[in-house]
A and B are shown apart, each in its own frame.
Chain A
């Protein structure tokens, strides 16, 4: 009897302890989770070349700083506590130090975990992987046409000259200056299919706050949707023709509407 009572007591104790542990774990887990959820969201952070999409990147980055150590320009730094960025992960601020786009991409090559994936910044040439920094997509430069002095009509091509992919990522557009009637605007335009997001333009910009700045691509890029096609571009025109051919055919859409209407006697139907 006594023994049974003892056993019951210890069992009771075991259950109490277990439930308390579960309660504390859930409490701790929720607080921890809520904090992590906030701590990993940094929509405007710029990552080193070759970085995987942010979610994958945060999974794989072990925060060792090897990319930082191998960066010869002190472009990259690890996020410190208090900077409100995912703790310990590498990033750069182009207005302070831009990415100089080393052709041997030492940061991405140094990454031991694959958070910086050299495959995304390489070409395959003769079956061999050859690094190509121009494939980096760290961000996309955006021009504020209100504060860009070239858009005022003042001659400035600092960003255009600074761009490592000059005439591809940034081109100069000529426009008539209606205000004076005898001058031209020479305005920079960014092309997203070439811009790597290195930020040399942002670094070079002469305005007090940069009028061209790099933002993460997913923030900047719009998307027209697949049903809008540029009929005047060969590739997309071909796509249009193809799409017409592969249309779903019903007895009524077999012929063109014109043929269908002109054929036979409609009144007899």
Chain B
């Protein structure tokens, strides 16, 4: 029974473990002086040597007109290459701590049956791309990286590492918005960081693969997916989920009872398509 539960939530549990470990290592870096990860998710150092930087934050800084040191530029390139070439938009589901907040909101929605239409303020998922564009234009005009001054993501991870202050209010806002206003409202509709990764990671190696002959059209995957539109090929044809919006959370794979979905390595493993 327990082993079945674990199997049915294997990626979810793994994701939580990864998310919490990363934040914990950053906290330990600050409090106990551990050298594994120092800094935070905006900019960190792995083993005090390898720089890791948020490419979207760096992009805003470049738009703001900052001439940056190589350290942060190399860090941004390393992170960008990892997501763009290998893992897809996995930052959102495997690293970002806001994901835990919004997933909790989603879980409550399910438990208390708030998933009906009357609990949905519908608006386009493309709004995030407008916010992304706007943030770059605003960074150029205001000469500061504008999203970094309002981002609930960095307020949360920075808060967990260096002290929250009133940062919990921003996190609560995201939680309540996702719970009562729009399902996946923050991560799937508004967040410009997610939008940035959506636009840049669709060509990654790690992708969810659909085996159409196994599919019984039960739609479990579409019900659980936070970015439903990416599952357009379900039941129609075998192939990779090609959309950058897919966060590679693996929820669809877990809920599938027919082995019709799996993680696969595009370009490396030869899967049947079409």
Choice from A24, A32, A88 contacting B148 with Cβ under 8 Å: A88
Q: How far is the CB of A49 from chain B (nearest CB, A)?
A: 17
**Quick check: A64 and B43 within 8 Å, CB to CB?**
yes
- 5 pairs of A and B residues whose beta carbons are closest in the complex: A80-B165, A82-B166, A64-B43, A112-B71, A81-B166
Give, as a whole number of angstroms, the nearest-CB distance from A136 to chain B.
19
Chain B, 40-72, contact with A by CB distance < 8 Å: what is the 0/1 string? 101111000001011001100100111111011
For B41, give the chain A residue with the smallest CB separation. Answer: A64
Give the size of the chain B interface in residues (CB under 8 angstroms): 53
**A42–B30 CA distance with the chains assembled, in angstroms:** 26
Of A28, A62, A63, A66, chain B has the most CB atoms within 10 Å of the CB of: A62
A125, CB-defined interface residue at 8 Å: no
Q: Which residues of A contact B167 (CB under 8 A)?
A: 80-81
Q: Counting chain A CB atoms within 10 Å of each CB, which of B66, B68, B143 scores highest? A: B66
- What number of A-B contacts does a CB cutoff of 8 Å give? 136
Contact of B39 among A32, A39, A40, A65 (CB under 8 A): A65
| Residues of chain A from 61 to 98 with CB closer than 8 A to chain B in the complex | 62-66, 68-69, 77-78, 80-83, 86-88
Choose one: A21, A65, A86, A114; the contact of B161 (CB below 8 Å): A65
Q: What are 18 residue pairs bridging A and B, where the CB atoms are less than 8 Å apart in the complex?
A: A25-B130, A28-B131, A29-B134, A33-B142, A33-B146, A59-B64, A60-B66, A62-B42, A62-B57, A62-B145, A64-B40, A78-B162, A80-B159, A81-B170, A82-B165, A112-B39, A112-B51, A113-B72
Residue B112 CB within 8 A of the other chain: no
Chain A residues close to B by CB (< 8 Å): 21, 24-25, 28-29, 32-33, 35-37, 39-40, 55-56, 58-60, 62-66, 68-69, 77-78, 80-83, 86-88, 111-114
Most chain A beta-carbon neighbours within 10 Å: one of B30, B141, B165:
B165
19 extra interchain contacts, Cβ-Cβ under 8 A, other than A112-B51, A112-B72? A24-B130, A33-B141, A35-B149, A37-B142, A39-B149, A40-B149, A59-B61, A59-B145, A65-B40, A66-B39, A69-B38, A77-B162, A78-B158, A80-B164, A80-B165, A80-B167, A81-B164, A111-B69, A113-B61
